[in-house]
Amino acid sequence: MSIIEKAASRIDHNKEMAPAAPATPAAPTATPLIEAAMAARAEVPVAVAPVPRPAAVPLAQPATRAQPAAPAKPRKQSTKRVVLDLNRMRDMGMVTAAGGRTTLVEDFRIIKRPLIKRAFAEAVEGEMPGNLIMITSSLPGEGKTYCAINLAMSIAMELDHTVLLIDADVARPSVLRTLGLPAEPGLMDILLDDKLDLADVMLRTNVDTLSILSAGTSSPRATELLASQSMSAFLHEIAHRYPDRIVIFDSPPLLLTSEAHVLATNMGQIVLVVESETTTQHAVKESLRQLEGCSNVNLIYNKTREFPGIEETYDYHYG
């Protein structure tokens, strides 16, 4: 065997004896790594997909926060409605639209006409609004509440005017009782609580042009409240809020309380009810003396009977 053949044979022998070279790990593992990387990349959108959901949270919250206007709802429902029993009122001898053309209805048509005319006359500087009308008397029992209700009902029959009847006899309120209605919050409550609005305590009736405000909660400071700045602001509001409104106040008697005198100083017109054959001349003169300085004082001569058996009539005098 030549030297070359021996060398070749040795090389072949060494190749057979040499341990097998380890398999290159990159070849068999390259595919799983790529697949893992691709799988990882493929999962990225899945992880990112939920991200838009947080954006929906702020969008939902403004709708919840945008509800502070909810407290305004009670205002719309605050004005209470009451039903006057018109048949009962007619049987009691009161003015009602369904009562027909009675002597009583005609009397109050005569009584209301000059009051309405003055209520909407051109304002005079320094005078109180003419649409604030106070009904009073010298002493209790002369019929002031009866006249106040009848006058309010008669004016409510007008086509161009509305009426607010206020029970300002805070010591002995009788408007709601006379009408067969239960006691309600009213004038004193507005003056005691500046958060209350007129609409919160005003009573709307089944006579569309007539509303009522009761005397409200009794207060030992009634005179001071009626003389307060709150009362002045309240009177200004009710006198000017509606241009077609007339406000009738059923006032306390002049000779028994100080509230009536305080109230009179804020009125545009005053009606003094005098009971026929009962009120003394002295009482009338004393009442008129207390009203000195008040413009537009008028008298109603109440419960007169010209002939036996004839229903009551009312005589009206300008003063």
Per-residue model confidence as pLDDT tens digits over 52-75:
454 444 444 444 455 555 544 444
> Residue type at 23?
A
At CA 65, angle to CA 64 and CA 70, rounded to 5?
A: 90
Read off φ and ψ for residue 273, nearest 5 degrees: -90, 130
Between strands 245-250 and 162-167, the pairing is parallel
Of 60 and 201, the structure prediction assigns the larger pLDDT to 201
pTM value is 0.73
- pLDDT score for 97: 84
Please, which residues have CB within 8 angstroms of residue 184's CB and are 6 or more apart in sequence? 80, 176, 201, 203, 214, 216
Distance CA 270, CA 259 (A): 14
Q: Kindly report the backbone phi and psi dihedral angles of residue 55, in degrees, each rounded to the nearest multiple of 5, phi listed first.
A: -65, -25
Q: What is the pLDDT of residue 306?
A: 55
Residue 113 has pLDDT above 90, yes or no: yes
pLDDT at 99: 76
What local confidence, expressed as pLDDT, does residue 67 receive?
53
Element containing residue 199 per DSSP (H, E): helix 198-201
The pLDDT-based confidence of 314 (bands split at 50, 70, 90) is low
> In this structure, what are the phi and psi dihedrals at residue 204, rounded to the nearest 5 degrees?
-85, 145
- Burial 183-218, CB ≥16 within 10 A → b, else e: ebbbbbbbbeeeebebebbbbebebebbbbbbbbee
Residue 33 to residues 27, 45, 46, 104, 291: CA-CA distances in angstroms? 11, 20, 20, 109, 109
Distances (CA, A) of 106 to 62, 93, 96, 279: 63, 13, 12, 24
- In the 8-state DSSP scheme, what is residue 243? T
Quote the pLDDT of residue 101: 84
Mean pLDDT of the chain: 80
In which band, very low, low, confident or very high, does the pLDDT at 125 lie, cut at 50, 70 and 90? Answer: confident
Q: What is the model's pLDDT at position 74? A: 44
| Cβ pair 93, 271 in contact under 8 A | no
Distance CA 315, CA 313 (A): 7
SS3 295: coil
pLDDT at 79: 83
Q: How many CB atoms lie within 10 A of CB 233?
A: 12
| Nearest CA-CA partner of 120 in 249, 264, 245, 293 | 245
pLDDT at 59: 47
Contact 152, 158 (CB under 8 A): no
